[in-house]
Amino acid sequence: MTTKTGQEAAEAADEAEEVTRPVWARIAGEPGEEGEEGHLELDEYASLDATALRECLVQGDVAAPELADTARRALARVNDALNALTIPPLDPALDANPNGRLGSVPFLLKDSAPFARGLPFSLGSRSISGAAAAADHPLMRKFRDCGLAAVGQTTAPEWSLSFATESLRYGVTRNPWALERSVGGSSGGAAALVAAGAVPLAHASDGAGSIRIPASCCGVVGMKPSRGRTTPSNPALRLPGSSGPPTAGAALGVDFAVTRTVRDTALLLELVTEPGFPTPAPAGTSPLRVAVTTASWSGAAINSEVAAAVTAAAEMLEWIGHRVTASSPTLDADDIRDGAALGFLAAGQQILAAPVQPRRDLLETVSRSVLDATLALSRPQAEASLAAQARVTRAVQGFFAHTDILVTPTLAQLPPPHGTLDYNRPRDRGGPPLQQVQSWIDEMFEFGPFTAAFNIAGNPAISLPLGHSVHGVPIGVQLVAAWGRDELLLDVAADLERAMPWKNRLPPIFVS
């Protein structure tokens, strides 16, 4: 047995007192201590997820105005390096229910739609100027109800139709892990600022991978819920020449969020789920049937470090006790591309139906192609693309009849240098507009071939930051479950978070 010296005993007592002091006292400092009284210290703030920050508020360890001010200071600390905000931080934050389950937790909104009443929006486009949302988006009403306090708006590429967050309106959004590399897209501003510790979670949307791809590039958690679980981010396509209701097939987009922890993702999903969404019976305790693949349906080459991260995740699931086999759905790459293109044209119809039309001369190259393809779309073209979507959906649904979880890369490659995916590089200029759009999607699928199939089929899918490359950038691993099995997907994600934690991996650009 060893005996502490007087000095060691005093130090131990001080350490114990430090642990038992309220969080607010530890992070703000007592009067006379270093630090700004009445403010969270940035390192403590950035270490807490939304669930923990809400607990601080409930316990009285911090007040809502101070928390919002800390978030604004955090944004100011990192945004010059990242270029991820479209407007200065909001002061005060947008109104929200302070007594909600996430009451007064700082949050960011994506510039992807007229989303919050009175908030300016541009959709990442020079062609929209001086516009503000006339009313709250249905999901924004849910965000307000659960208490999220929006303190800023994040960058997105024009119309959110790129896997890179680069636009002529806002320039390049940079990756906190490596400033010269892409943050992915289209929710790149959201993912960059969550990764940098500026906020614990942020609004994002996903029409072909736009939540999961930035999550992979920036090392955060990005989930696309099941179709119908949350409010869709774009309407369904109206068939050319049809006076009937839009067809549901092309409504590929989902609005949700990026976070730093699985528990925040699970809590937010619970809070924003649409009324009446069916909840399947629990999966039970038997080992899950897990399939794993590192082969893309498009034939895109897979980086060896990406493949290794997927293999490590699969091996961990096997160690946990699940049955893991090498398998994947049999999908046609052209069907995925054509189905995704129809989702782009549904967005084009939404733009064309807006009260204020964009100035064509200020649109970027792919956006002009999308508008032209939307205007030129024939009913046979639309029906052929809907048939492609149906084939993808049948194949995916059939696969999950005998599989619980599919594990894939989120991306085929590490985050590329800026400009690799160039929204304004001329492509197939002599071909018909739809061919130009398809060519752009083919180019994006060389980088991100694994995500869009599950927008088409409607399955829940999540990217987890389970790998890290020798170049110092994160590697996302995608998990997919059957439609409606969002809770099962989150349970498995939480198991991997405990077994392969990422909490202490921080990027060079971080608020503290």
Question: What are the catalytic residues?
Answer: 110, 186, 210
Give the CA dihedral 6, 12, 15, 19, nearest 10 degrees: -140
User: Under a CB-based contact definition with an 8 Å cutoff, are residues 459 and 483 in contact?
Assistant: yes
* DSSP state letters, 419-486: TSS-TTS--STTS-HHHHHHHHHHHHHHH--SSHHHHHHT--EEEEEEEE-TTS-EEEEEEEE-TT-H
Q: Is the peptide bond before 329 cis (omega within 30 degrees of 0)?
A: no
Please, which residues have CB within 8 angstroms of residue 97's CB and are 6 or more apart in sequence? 103, 144, 145, 146, 147
DSSP classification of residue 409? E
**Type and span of the H or E element at 142:** helix 138-146
CB neighbours (10 Å) of residue 26? 15
**Type and span of the H or E element at 174:** strand 174-175
User: Under a CB-based contact definition with an 8 Å cutoff, are residues 198 and 511 in contact?
Assistant: yes
For Cα atoms 271, 113, 206, give the angle at the middle one, nearest 5 degrees.
60
Calpha distance 53→105 (Å, rounded):
7
Calpha distance 85→189 (Å, rounded):
7
DSSP classification of residue 237? B
User: Under a CB-based contact definition with an 8 Å cutoff, are residues 291 and 330 in contact?
Assistant: no
Calpha distance 66→506 (Å, rounded):
24
Q: Which residues pair with 85 in a beta bridge?
A: 154
3-state secondary structure (DSSP) of residue 166: strand
Calpha distance 217→215 (Å, rounded):
6
Half-sphere exposure of 469 (CA within 13 A, CB side): 22
